[in-house]
Amino acid sequence: MDFFDTADGFNYRPFKHWCFLAEIVDVGTFLRLRLEVKDRAGQISPLCFYTDDRGEEVPASRLRRGYTVAVLYAKKHGFLDMSVGIRHEEPKFLKVKQTSSEPALPLTPGLDLHNRTEGAARAQRSRRKVRLYR
């Protein structure tokens, strides 16, 4: 629990935020949904669904080769078959999009790629507006 903090010892919250982005390479189901995903470095890893619905909450139309999966707060897990991947337990922390994983950042107009966040870009645009009226 290196990235989680607690005030009472029972409720944990992340104090750093991260997102795992990968491209779907293969889709399999045996008792639960299991995706083989390829990250930006080219490493292929399993993404196994340990949700209450065993992955059925993701529409079958979104489970296609080449689609990008985004998992918030993903953690590495060692499975019984000796493979290492991601054990996904929280449905609200997963999104699947019909896009390539390249580039990793959204290309929206006015986005400052050096700050890497839309909020920072928005703040920078508002500062520019203030400077124009001075």
Say what the pTM is. Answer: 0.63
Cβ–Cβ under 8 Å, residues 70 and 97: yes
Tens of pLDDT along 77-86?
Answer: 888 787 888 8
Structural domains in the chain, CATH included, are: 4-97 (2.40.50.140), 105-134 (no CATH)
By the 8 A CB rule, do 79 and 45 touch?
Answer: no
* Beta bridge mates, 36: 26, 46
pLDDT for position 113: 41
**Residue 80, pLDDT score:** 79
Q: What is the average per-residue pLDDT within 49-67?
A: 88
Percent of the residues in the chain that have a pLDDT greater than 70, as a whole number: 69
**pLDDT tens track for 87-116:** 888 888 888 988 754 554 444 454 444 444
